Amino acid sequence: MTTATPVMPLSPGRAAEETDVTADAGQEVARSASDVGRDAAFERDALPWLDDVYRFALSLTREESDADDVVQETFLRAYRSWHTFIPGTDCRRWLFTICRNVFLRSRERQRPTVDLEDGEQDAVAAGSVYAAAREKGYDDIYARLDLAPALRDALDDLAEPFRSAVILVDVEDLSYESAADVMGVPIGTVRSRLFRGRRLLQEKLVTVAEDLGFQGAGTP
């Protein structure tokens, strides 16, 4: 895997320039001060989140080529609609929201509406998964196995909308509130989907450990 390349912001003084001249295939294009200011803000606030948006898009599409299209459209829309972004607010959340909308529109379908029971049932069910794993001596699999490949596969298999909830909260570290905003659902729904997603992932990982012939800690 490649390592993220941080995108360096422009120097603070650039936005104050009156005009900017951009060389483009030998043709100089004069740009207004507002254009320069917008571009500086876009570079500073939006571009650093490219990797994050890519991960989220990939979690939605599951296909790299589709994720590429969604990411490109997300940033183009963000650039064209930059005047609607409120400076000082969470740009990553704004981009995730655009990304999700682009994805849903590309699939020509409505936002999935999944009514789930209280998340506590999944929390308790996860306890059962743990108990079963413990019986097999797998209760330390997360510490003993390099789970990244298995986790990625399990995430790929995880159905929407659970996958989005897990990616946004557990991988991208969004709060429940931010994830709810991105997904367009109440906070309680994020919690339910997150807990279901975690429980399903943990079930899958125990199965993976079994398939790999993972020896439990207490197994001779």
Binding site for other proteins (CB under 8 A): 1-5, 7-8, 10, 20, 22, 24, 29, 31, 35-36, 39-40, 42-43, 47, 50-51, 53-55, 58, 64, 67-68, 71-72, 75-76, 79-80, 118-121, 123-124, 126-127, 130, 133-134, 139-140, 142-143, 147-148, 151-152, 155, 166, 169-173, 176, 191, 194-195, 198, 201-202
Q: How far is the CB of 92 from other proteins (least distance, A)?
A: 12
Tell me the one-letter amino acid at 40. Answer: A
96 near 56, Cβ under 8 Å? yes
Query: What's the rounded Cα separation, in Å, for the pair 94 and 173?
Result: 15
Distances 173 to 13, 111, 140, 170, 218 between C-alpha atoms, Å: 32, 22, 24, 5, 34
Tell me the one-letter amino acid at 86. Answer: I
Which residue number, 7 or 16, has a Cβ lying nearer to other proteins? Answer: 7
181 near 96, Cβ under 8 Å? no
Q: Residue 195's closest CA among 142, 115, 120?
A: 120
Which residue number, 118 or 184, has a Cβ lying nearer to other proteins? Answer: 118
Query: What's the rounded Cα separation, in Å, for the pair 59 and 220?
Result: 39
Which residue number, 94 or 174, has a Cβ lying nearer to other proteins? Answer: 174
Q: How far is the CB of 184 from other proteins (least distance, A)?
A: 20
Q: Which positions ≥6 away from 99 have C-beta within 8 Å?
A: 53, 56, 57, 60, 70, 71, 74
Query: What's the rounded Cα separation, in Å, for the pair 163 and 30?
Result: 45
Q: How far is the CB of 219 from other proteins (least distance, A)?
A: 18
Which residue number, 111 or 120, has a Cβ lying nearer to other proteins? Answer: 120
Q: Residue 70's closest CA among 164, 178, 157?
A: 164
Which residue number, 111 or 173, has a Cβ lying nearer to other proteins? Answer: 173
Q: How far is the CB of 134 from other proteins (least distance, A)?
A: 8
Q: How far is the CB of 139 from other proteins (least distance, A)?
A: 6
Q: In the 8-state DSSP scheme, what is residue 115?
A: -
Which residue number, 111 or 124, has a Cβ lying nearer to other proteins? Answer: 124
Q: How far is the CB of 98 from other proteins (least distance, A)?
A: 14
